[in-house]
Amino acid sequence: MEPKIGSVYRHFKGNLYEVKAIALHSETGEKMVVYQALYGDGDTYVRPYDSFVSKVDRIKYPDADQEYRFEEQKAQDSPDIDPMVMQFLETEDFEEKFTILGGLHHRITKDQIAIMAMSLDVTIEDSEIEDMYRQLKTCVDTRRRFETTRLR
């Protein structure tokens, strides 16, 4: 697997990252992968190439769902929809929805907010994009905290 610059990868523990560059260590010449978190503050990390493309250590993490430490995420059959929006629509886990929404914060559009709001059966008032984002995030956060504890 060759990491692709600009592609989104899921770490086997669940978080999403975008590969920014393949670099060389200035002293050792070791190949490195530069990648940015698509959640939280969007921190940027560097990891040795061999580690980035390695398989998950099954002895240390026997319950991991992925074969590789990082696996590319692809939007299936929907080339016009952001892959992270597709993940938001496909997952039923509100914790994951909240994480994905955080990763979209700095590039989200009104259309994306509308699509995600419809999937949750909520109405977001048309206003400044930051206000719309905040409304959607509050809705997802509320469901994240309370939906999983509700008896069905």
> Could you tell me which residues come within 8 angstroms of residue 110 by beta carbon, excluding any fewer than 6 positions away?
126, 129, 132
Mean pLDDT of all residues belonging to the chain: 87
Alpha helices per DSSP H over the chain: 49-52, 83-90, 94-104, 110-119, 129-146
pLDDT of 122 over the 90 cut? no
Q: Where are the domains positioned within the chain?
A: 8-72, 83-149
Instruction: Decide which of 1.50.10.10, 1.10.3720.10, 3.40.50.1240, 2.30.30.320 is the CATH code for 8-72.
Output: 2.30.30.320
Q: Mean of the pLDDT values across residues 117-122?
A: 85
- Return the pLDDT at 35: 96
Using 50, 70 and 90 to split pLDDT, how confident is the model at 77?
very low
Task: Give the predicted TM-score (pTM) of the model.
Answer: 0.52
- Return the pLDDT at 119: 84
